[in-house]
Structure 1
Amino acid sequence: MGKGFFLSKGVGVLLIICGAASVATIIALSVVYSQEKAKNNEVSPTNGGSTTNPPVTTPAPTTSNKPWDQYRLPKTLVPEHYNLMLRPRLTPDETTKLYIFTGESSVDFKCVEETDLILIHSNKLNYTKAPTLESVNPAVTAPNINKYWLQKVTQYLVIELDAKLKKDHMYRLSTDFVGELADDLGGFYRSEYEEDGVKRYGCCNNSMQPTDARKSFPCFDEPALKAVFNITLTHPQGTIALTGPSLGNKLIQTTFAPTEKMSTYLLAYIVSDFDFVNNTIDGVLIRIFARKSAIAAGQGEYALNTTGPILKFFEDYYNSKYPLPKSDQIALPDFNAGAMENWGLITYRETALLYDPEFSSNGNKERIATIIAHELAHMWFGNLVTLRWWNDLWLNEGFASYVEYLGANYAEPDWGMADLIVLNDVHRVFAVDALTSSHPLSSKEEDIQRPEQISELFDAISYSKGASVLRMLSDFLTEDVFKMGLRTYLKEFAFGNTVYSDLWKHLQDAVDNTPLPGLPNTVADIMNTWVLQMGFPVVTIDTASGTVTQKHFLLDPDSEVTVVSPFKYQWTVPIKWMKTGTEQKPVWLVEKSETVDMMKATGTDWVLANLNVVGYYRVNYDQSNWNKLLNALNTNHSVIPVINRAQLVDDAFNMARAKIVSTTLALSTTVYLDKERDFMPWESATDNMDFFYLMFDRSEVYGHMQAYLQKQVIPLFNYYKAETGNWTKDLPGHLDQYNLVNAISLACKTGHKECTDLAKGWFEMWMNNPAKNPIHPNLRSTVYCNAIAAGGAKEWEFAWAQFTKANAIEADKLRYAMACTKEPWLLNRYLEYTLTPEKMRKQDATSTIVYIANNVVGQALTWDFIRARWTYIFNEYGGGSFSFSNLINGVTKRFSTEFELKQLRQFKEDNADIGFGSGTLAVDQSIERTISNMKWIEENTKTVSNWFQEAIKPL
């Protein structure tokens, strides 16, 4: 955003570029704020139009049926327009040490049902004057305010009136308030960072989603209650302002044009001293904002060059012009999520937007392309058309998680992006959705009420399962029909709100206009079996009889499913398949069991179902067909499509855990890997062998497993050694570059001396000359990790020193690698650093703790650390965080003993009063997974050990 640029109508976001704050009134206001907190939110200002001061009280939470004790707003008032003035202070009060912001807000709302009560969301705000109410129509007299109070549990400012508001009349509620500009990464928060040795400050809202707009200003904070926003920010004179009148010689006031009609969670406003690069594509101004040093280093150029093509792709895909005149994207030093789709001002972690070929790996580059595509997809699907309530979050996030691959594939057509959804989303979410503690994609509105329940929905089910089933839907409808329905859906509901069934209706209309032969039912009837019940089926094909059956797939077949399904855990399953390498006509499985004669296979013929893994299910076969598939892998694996080679490995290993096939069959799918050179099967295999590492890296099986995997990976390691000219040349293929990392990572992990020496040698060269890093950015994470693991304190201390002065891209690689040390005392110290904001940003704390837990040496240390610090972690890191589920699952995924199970249950009991926030479901999932792991180890240890020993015997 350039100097003096005025945001035109339609821009639902704000950006102010400014430097340090200097304000005259901060001490007084900080004291006011501190006093207000101490008085438990009680104030007694004068009520406009009243001769008495209405008392402010804070009633204790009750279980009453009073409207203010309900988490959903009553359907009595509808906002139409907000006027909001905010003034952030970026200098703390010397006495209270508080950073604050002050605000003035008025909201015009329509009364749609007579009421003498106003409820408006407010969280962690204190009111310095009494709210005032007036009628927008001078001919109508507004009621007086009898009393008002803050209802903390349900997060309301409650206002009782002395008479009822009149139906169909407009009123204006005005408030003056103060809030803390905290560093909690939620709502309107403070960011601190150093640049050129100088500490700098900014304030921003990384995400109002889902319920943090109310921390910034009083508002009707539900996605269906869209309104137009007029926002003014006050900031110091001498800063780089946009436009606006001067307020004397201290402050400048910048007023923004009205937004489009939009939801509160999509607002953003930022104060910083960032720089930008820009371009204009088809009349849309595109700007990338970041720290000045990052922009000067050219780190915004890739995002700038990628945004235009992706934006154009979605305009064509949706057949809808981008609805705003500009698209700003900003990389923030402190940001809890990966990115947030604020309308017109998308916010990112620095590593999700900034690219530098000197530091960024192939994976960093891909992440930038896919996240930009994800967020730009939301500009239409989510922002222009918004879910009515959070129970349908999956439709919003699942859709963006699906089409991000399409957008990134358009921008980078040589990468083969469209196929990676299988590894990144389908296989990922299968692991969660195979538990009895999973949940359906769509819940009932009444079941999702509290903010923590909403936050809990931001999980793999909503994102990855949502993406997977929408991809399946697009495939069996055909992409043309899918897009046709999508386009009419967006056109009808532009600037409005929907439920998921609205999309089904438009897709059905598209089907009716372009008949598709073979659909067994309506779109709604087919898709509701995937949306309204948790889990997914395993489809079993008996090639001797042609019998095809389906059954709810459970990772632990002995676990009890207590959730009643409206479809009795039966799905309408589309099956694409091939016979002996030739694709066949697709079939549908509607019943529990059906006979499909053409799926019979005799002689050497074999059947392979779920071609290219477009369906959201696993596939099992009779033993004869499995033997033929294994033979095909071992004799000519290329006859099986590469995605399905990855599928065979993943399905077999997970069905073995579910006792559907033998563990030896699963292990047999890895025998051919010494001849495999493609990334996807290798990635699938290493992902599944990670489970074996978790189960056996503390047992006698570990040595045999290491020997076998080293035997399998050395041919791949040697292949890439030759392809790169003894590690001196780059590989041209995107996925080849990934598989090169796999080869080095697994070879070093299994103790291959040549690999370990290579990693240590490169790292030592860097230590000897810190100004010149000889390690290719693609290899840095794995080389750093293995060198630090093989080294001691000297290597770790060097990495830490580099981390403290690295840019965000390089710091992420070092942060991961330092968790690889085998020294317990270093890991303990590193754990302490995670909760020390001066050493590690809050946004990185939980993922770093999980990195340490992934290390077998750090597992027990991390678990003790989490249990001892849970209250602190929950209180300090819970605000604005969706990462508690990742934290809990990550720290407990190795659990496999009765003792660990008891500890986990005790952890749940001990912290019941504190809570687990967005990790509540993850605790139950961890308990279920631990029980499953215990059973699996008891039943498989001997078999697995014997198989590995046989596999490493000389022929």
Structure 2
Amino acid sequence: MEPDLDAATFRGTVSIDAEVSDPVSLIELNSAELEIDSVVARSDVWGERPAQVTFQPEFERATLHVETPLEAGGWSIDIEFSGILNDRLRGFYRSTYVDPEGVDQVIATTQFESTDARRAFPCWDEPDFKATFGVTLVVDDGLAAISNGAEVRRSERDDGKVVVEFAPTMKMSTYLVAFVVGRLEATAPVMVSGVPLRVVHLPGKGRYASFALEAGAFALDYLAGYYGIPYPAGKLDLVGIPDFAWGAMENLGCVTFRETALLVDPAEATQSELQRVADVIAHEIAHMWFGDLVTMKWWNGIWLNEAFATFMELKTVDAFRPEWNRWVSFAAEGGVGSSSMDIDSLEATRPIEFPVESPDDADAMFDALTYGKGAAVLRMLEQFLGEEKFRTGVSDYLQWFTHGNAETKDLWKALEQATGVPVAEMMDTWIFQGGVPIVEVAPGGPGAVLTQDHFRYLGSGEGQWTVPVLARSIDDPEITPVTLHGAAELPYDTPIVNAGGHGFYRVRYDKEIEGRIHDRLDQLLPLERYALIADSWGLTLGGRRRASDHVRLLGLFRSETEPLLWEPIAGSLATLSGIATDAVRPAFAGVVRDLVGDAVLGSGWEVGRSESDLERRLRGTLLRTMGVVGDDESTIERARATFEAVVRGDVVDPDVASASLTITAAHGLEAEYHRFWEEYERSESPQDQVRYLRAMATVPGDALAAATMDRIIAGEIRNQDSFWLIAVMVGNRKSGDAAWDLVTSRWDELVAVIPPQNLRRVLDSIPARSKPDVADRIRSFLEAHPIPGGELYVGQQLERLDVRVRLRQAEQELPGIV
């Protein structure tokens, strides 16, 4: 591959070793947005056969026609081609930055998953067409060249170009091939069991790499030990790219990242920002086995890759930083709560695994259900089977299918062999049907009776699950496993259903049982208390519980000591605040101040000497809730002063600094908006850049939303950040309606700017626009402007919007909460 960074083009050759089983005159492979200059098939026995090429662009295919059929035997198919380094963040594309000397620089890099290797070179671009790949890059002198394998040879051509050859890869799928060319720097390698690990970054950003090296080295060692299989490549580079559509990509030996997911200064980052870096690094390294070494046969099985990598990311980070309570934060951040379970409570949900027929279908699989629900279901299964037996089954599965492809049933078979439990019978009810069950708990039998129903926010469903329930008495920590098909009995008067809190199902207790549990919250584990909050909020959204009852439940948590549980408390309060009318909201803000005020006073603004990371994170959550949702004047005033201190360069705890910025933005005006833009432009830290962009979108004001939209369309803001920034503006309580009108009026311009794989994410916040007339406008627009590959997500977001509209209309009682 020979990229021309100045011209934004590339030329290349691919030589494919193929075994012809029967004589053939037509060969079909994948090719998109490429010019094919010549094709020659070569055989040591039969000589050379030139081929003509025809294209089927609608199917992203090219057909090679040879006049004389190729005889059975070994052939090399040699293709010369050229293409464009696009700006759509897929295939072989260009990323830009300004170096420390103020010079514009270009990087050529790749993003092939799901089906974009075909945009870089002709190939069979399907996951079960595995091959080994030998990459050679031809680059200008002075540029870094990185690929999957280690560099094995370097030479100079007569024209001064440098030819860099890399070691062949293991047998793998096309979507895992990678190459990066540009002015980049690398850290010194850290050796992990003989594997060199580096962080590759833009010039001048080496000071942000140390945490990634620490987290990466831990993950590499931990995961090899967990799987019982050595790391399957010769080296591992973690490469930060300034323009990147996703969080990261698990290319074997050459993992590419959005900078915010790799580069961080621990002294300046919040706990959440550090955790995200550790999470993403662990996730991508987990893929080196689950995804790269063993790959799904087809894209319908992508959950095998992504859900398991998410599950292993959580286990790895929980071992890396036990004090972060990663399984609790997984639930609190939406793993079994507000994200995947929220979507699974819709009629428009989907099974974790469902048919994939087109590239758009494959892209649509990368959602909260594949990642969040898939990981939560695996955690539920692991806890039910036992951690060590589960690990044995996973290791067996990987060894059985090393360098090959597998399906869901293959994982179940390995787990069944390791445990003796009929896993497939149980788990097929979770993988091949969408939705989530609710377990009803009522007095009966020797103590309590469990039944199940299909939980939906709107309407009813007919799903039935084999539910691996873990239960216990509130008086006893010993857990009883129960496989719930229809109904089951428990010998406890006051049972804790979903004991441990890892089950992916909702629970509704009879009022008498629920009252006894509420009287003894101190007898529950943190995740069990979280489940009470999350289930109450789910019932509220589903119209089965009044908002006033939910807020009264939250009042029982005024003295909650688990920092992470304040996040679902804050989240539901923010949603209720968002649906409150202007007349009611000041009184509801008083409810919020009353509910969180004691906790805010206890936490304060100053960091104690022996505080944990999570206590610092809690302080940020509480201050943000008090200042933004509670509209507390003293908090707002202190936040503004703290923001000024941060800008002056004073040392401020990162969680306090982040909360202060959000509060200042939420109550800001045009002057603050312009200051945030100035700070964004001069920021070097990836985390600071995101904070200031988010702050700009948080400042209310119709004209300010229009100014931000202008910057996005003009390219002043990287297109990787365009979709989420628009979503923040649409979610703004005061100016979100106007922001949505901007989206509709400038839709064609946005489609031209936003990477196509990210376009549907513009809709992330439309459930916040719950005024009935605005909701009707949103629905009409989306019906008239379909998003390719986004049909399912659009349906889900519109249904989530309907849920919020109903909540707004039903909760005219908000004054009653006050």
Report the TM range for the smaller structure's normalisation: over 0.9
Q: 1:110: Cα distance to partner?
A: 2.2
Q: Return the alpha-carbon distance in structure 1 between the equivalents of residues 119 and 83 of structure 2.
A: 8
Question: 1:456-500 CA distances to partner (integer Å, 9 max, x unpaired)?
Answer: 000001000110111111111111111111111111111111111
**For residues 292-347 of structure 1, what are the alpha-carbon distances to aligned partners after superposition, in whole Å with 9 as ceiling and x for unaligned?**
2111xx21111112222211111110011112221111111111111111100111
- Give the number of the structure whose alpha-carbon radius of gyration is greater: 1
Matches within 5 A, 1:497-512: 497-512=405-420
Q: State the partner residue of 2:441.
A: 541
Q: Give yes or no for contact 1:111–1:165 (8 Å, CA) kept in 2.
A: yes
Q: 2:795 aligns with which of 903, 917, 924?
A: 924
Deviation of 1:778 (Å): 1.9
**Pairing 1:840–2:717 present:** yes
One-letter code aligned to 2:389: V
Secondary structure of 1:583 counterpart: coil
Deviations 1:827-854 (A, max 9, x none): 22112212232x2111111111111122
1:712-861 pair list within 5 angstroms:
712-721=595-604, 727=606, 729=608, 732-749=611-628, 750-766=630-646, 769=648, 772-807=649-684, 808-837=686-715, 839-861=716-738
List aligned pairs for 1:466-865, cutoff 5 A: 466-512=374-420, 522-545=422-445, 546-556=448-458, 558=459, 569-594=463-488, 596-599=489-492, 601=493, 606-632=494-520, 637-696=521-580, 698-721=581-604, 727=606, 729=608, 732-749=611-628, 750-766=630-646, 769=648, 772-807=649-684, 808-837=686-715, 839-865=716-742
Q: Which moved more, 1:347-356 or 1:392-401?
A: 347-356
Match of 2:357 in 1: 449
Which one-letter code corresponds to 1:283 in the other structure? Answer: G
Q: Which amino acid aligns with 2:365?
A: L
Q: Which residue of 1 aligns with 2:148?
A: none
In structure 2, the partner of 1:180 is: 84
User: Cα distance 1:551–1:214, how it changes in 2: closer, same or farther (>3 A)?
Assistant: same
Could you say what secondary structure the match of 1:330 adopts? strand
Equivalent residue number for residue 229 of structure 2: 320
SS of structure 2 residue aligned to 1:123:
coil
Change (3 A) 1:905 1:497: same
What is the alpha-carbon root mean square deviation over aligned residues? 2.0
Q: Report the Cα distance in structure 2 between the residues aligned to 1:730 and 1:90, rounded to whole angstroms.
A: 51
- SS of the residue aligned with 1:292? coil
Cα separation, 1, equivalents of 2:776 and 2:490? 51
* 8 Å Cα contact 2:719/2:755 also seen in 1: no
Q: Verify the 8 A CA contact 1:781 1:814 in the aligned structure 2.
A: no
State the match for 1:292 in structure 2: 203
Q: Which amino acid aligns with 1:677?
A: T
1:203 match: secondary structure: strand
Partner-residue secondary structure (3-state), 1:778: helix
SS at match of 1:101: strand
Residue 408 of structure 1 corresponds to which residue in structure 2?
A: 317
Kindly indicate whether the alpha-carbon contact (under 8 Å) linking 1:233 and 1:255 is maintained by their aligned counterparts in 2. yes
Unaligned runs of at least 5 residues, structure 1: 1-85, 93-98, 513-518, 562-567, 950-955
Residues 408, 414 of structure 1: CA spacing in aligned structure 2 closer, same or farther, 3 A cutoff? same
Q: Distance in 2 between matches of 1:240 and 1:849?
A: 34
Write the mapping of 1:194-343 to structure 2, written as runs, cut at 5 A: 194-239=98-143, 243-277=153-187, 278-295=189-206, 298-343=207-252
Deviation for aligned residue 1:540: 0.3
2:289 corresponding residue in structure 1:
380
Please point out which of 307, 322, 326 is paired with 1:417: 326
Distance 1:789 1:597, change over 3 A: closer
The 1-side partners of 2:357 and 2:456 are apart by: 29
Q: What CA distance in whole angstroms lies between the structure 1 residues aligned with 2:343 and 2:804?
A: 14
Q: In the alignment, is the contact (CA less than 8 A) between 2:54 and 2:64 conserved in 1?
A: yes
Native 8 Å contact 2:130 2:172 kept in 1: yes
Q: Give the counterpart letter for 1:317 in structure 2.
A: Y
CA distance in 2, matches of 1:728, 1:930: 39
Counterpart in the other structure of 2:342: 431
Change (3 A) 1:163 1:434: farther
Give the Cα separation in 1 of the matches to 2:406 and 2:783. Answer: 39
SS of the residue aligned with 2:574? helix
Gap runs ≥5 in structure 2: 146-150
Is the CA contact (8 Å cut-off) linking 2:245 and 2:755 kept in structure 1? no
Q: Which amino acid in structure 2 is aligned with residue 926 of structure 1? A: Q
In the alignment, does 2:763 pair up with 1:888? yes
**CA apart distance, 1:255:** 1.5
Say whether residues 1:89 and 2:4 are aligned partners.
yes
SS at match of 2:427: helix
Q: Is the 8 A contact 1:850 1:887 kept in 2?
A: yes
d(CA) in 1 for partners of 2:613 and 2:21?
A: 57
Answer with 227-236 or 898-907: which moved more.
Answer: 898-907
* Distance of 1:415 and 1:781 partners within structure 2: 19
The TM-score normalised by the length of structure 1 is: 0.81
The reply on whether 1:159 has 2:64 as its aligned counterpart is yes
> In structure 2, do the counterparts of structure 1 residues 265 and 538 end up closer, same or farther at CA, with 3 Å as the change threshold?
same
User: Taking structure 1 as reference, are residues 240 and 679 closer, same or farther at Cα in structure 2, changes over 3 Å only?
Assistant: closer
Corresponding residue SS for 1:484: helix
* Cα distance change on mapping 1:803 and 1:110 into 2, 3 Å: same
Say whether the 8 Å CA contact 1:489–1:503 is kept in structure 2.
Answer: yes
Q: Is the 1:796–1:821 contact (alpha carbons within 8 Å) kept by the matching residues of 2? A: yes
Give, as a single letter, the amino acid of the residue that structure 2 aligns with 1:678. E
Aligned 8 A contact 2:467 2:485 in 1: no
CA distance in 2: counterparts of 1:344 and 1:334, whole angstroms = 20
Query: Retained in 1: the 8 A contact 2:142–2:183?
Result: no
Structure 1 pair 940–114 and aligned structure 2 pair: CA distance change class (3 A): farther
* Aligned residue pair count: 805
Query: Secondary structure, in 3 states, of the residue corresponding to 2:322?
Result: coil
Deviations 1:333-375 (A, max 9, x none): 1111111111001111111111213432221211111111111
SS in 1 for 2:103: strand
Distance 1:795 1:905, change over 3 A: closer
CA deviation after TM superposition for structure 1 residue 394, in Å: 0.8
Deviates more, 1:171-180 or 1:477-486: 171-180
Assess, with a 3 A threshold, how the Cα gap between structure 1 residues 773 and 921 changes in structure 2: closer, same or farther: farther
2:779 corresponding residue in structure 1: 905
Percent identity between matched residues is: 26
* Higher relative contact order structure (alpha carbons within 8 Å, sequence separation ≥ 6): 1
Offset at residue 144 of structure 1 (A): 5.8
Which letter maps to 1:523?
V
Structure 1 residue aligned with 2:40: 132
- The change in CA–CA distance for 1:113 and 1:431 in structure 2 (over 3 A counts) is farther
- 1:240 and 1:155 mapped to 2: Cα distance? 31
Q: 1:16-165 to 2 correspondence within 5 Å?
A: 86-92=1-7, 99-112=8-21, 115-127=24-36, 129-134=37-42, 136=43, 138-140=44-46, 145=51, 147-165=52-70
Q: Which amino acid aligns with 2:256?
A: T
Q: More displaced, 180-189 or 378-387?
A: 180-189
Structure 2 length-normalised TM: 0.95
**Aligned residue identity for 1:626:** E
